[in-house]
Amino acid sequence: MKIRMLFLMILVAGVFFWQAGAVAAESRCTEILGDTCLNCHGEEKFCPLLGKSLKFWKATLDLMEANGAELSKDEFALVAECLSLPAPEAKAFCKR
């Protein structure tokens, strides 16, 4: 019985931390959109394209990097994933 309770507690903690990480990543995505992408583009440039494929967003962000966008590889990957899903935070960002 004690082993089952311990297993259940570990499982619940794992789910909690996984969710917290997902929320933090989405929040970071909208932070990048606001702080970096909007420096050169209005929301009308990328918001209508939410939900395009990951391949599309990776290619688009490669062009942005070639034109001077300064993000780490991890940040580029995060934004590409956020916009391709699209993450709820990206949808909310575009509706403001």
Pair of tokens at residue 38: 């909007």
Per-residue model confidence (pLDDT) at position 51: 95
User: What is the count of structural domains for the chain?
Assistant: 1
Q: Is the pLDDT of residue 95 over 70?
A: yes
pLDDT band at 31 (very low <50, low <70, confident <90, very high): very high
- Name the residue range of residue 65's domain: 2-95
Per-residue model confidence (pLDDT) at position 27: 83
H helix runs in the chain, sequence order: 2-32, 38-40, 43-46, 54-66, 73-84, 88-95
Model pTM score: 0.70
Per residue in 6-22, pLDDT (tens digit) is 444 454 444 333 343 44
